[in-house]
Amino acid sequence: MPRSNYSRIIAGVMKWGVWGAQLNTSEMTKLIAGCLDMGVTTFDHADIYGGHTTEAEWGKAFQQSGIARDQLQIITKCGIMMQSDKRPNIKAKHYDTSKGHIINSVNTSLKNLRTDYIDMLIIHRPSPIMNPNEIMKAIDILKTSGKIRQFGVSNFTVDQVKLINSSVDVDCNQIEISPFELSSFTNGTLDHCLLERMIPMAWSPMGGGRLFAPSQNPTLLNQRERLHNVAKKYDWELDEMVYLFLLHHPADIRPVVGSSKIKRIKIAVDSVHTIISDAQWFEIWSAATGVEVP
């Protein structure tokens, strides 16, 4: 599947349910349609979101929307074993990347999401004891049966991606990227995505609320002031500036927007059509780091 099939801005649904906005079915249906109207056709899930409830809530809303399945793309993730009311048999949080768990998780997600296939299945976290051959066998079965179309990873280092890529094609790495988490720019992660033509998806682009949330941390407050000064200089909204920063990178980063507010998602969408210069990009970088580049 060409990477162009995924929208440049991805709607992250983690906070649509009980972990955030607590949208009802009608509200979710309206938000799904609103995203599509703006060209946001890709929706990012994980089996654990909402304590294993958000996939099913979204799936119900999607079914009621009447939107054709081929009009959008669904990403979901598996591998984190987290106790919840829906999973009382899990006694301790851990990772499971076994063949059986991956296949069972996909089957559950398909039922919850009310779809016949998942566009991109992602292993949510790297396990210290993951076996690439186990993962390869699961992905081969799921692709052959038509239940998934592509496979990716999340939060994997370059070496961990190489390990999995030795057995199965890795099409994406979903990683934390924001002005508060810049390591992927310098540790080879984004370089590796460019080299292998993998899609980099940026989760928590606003730094998990660090861009806006109240804080007494002087270091964070100084950092935000520096970022605000750059945004003010160019008449940008703060979140608009962050999207411009991510979208400028040649690796074709796809920000995963965590907001459930259509106006915040629209800021990300509108940013796609704005071009910044390399010099402006480095201004944002220097504001985020607090120092000029060498």
Whether 49 is catalytic is: yes
What are the backbone angles phi and psi of residue 202, rounded to the nearest 5°?
Answer: -105, 110
Q: At what angle do helices 278-289 and 218-233 cross, to 10 degrees?
A: 160
- Pull the structure tokens for residue 33: 């349609």
- Pull the structure tokens for residue 239: 């979140």
What are the backbone angles phi and psi of residue 281, rounded to the nearest 5°?
Answer: -60, -45
From the number of C-beta atoms within 10 Å of its C-beta (0-12, 13-18, 19+), residue 239 rates as buried
Catalytic residue among 6, 49, 95, 117: 49
CB neighbours of 120 closer than 8 A, spacing ≥ 6? Answer: 6, 73, 74, 75, 76, 148, 149, 150, 151, 152, 171, 172
Distance CA 268, CA 252 (A): 14
Residues serving a catalytic function are 49
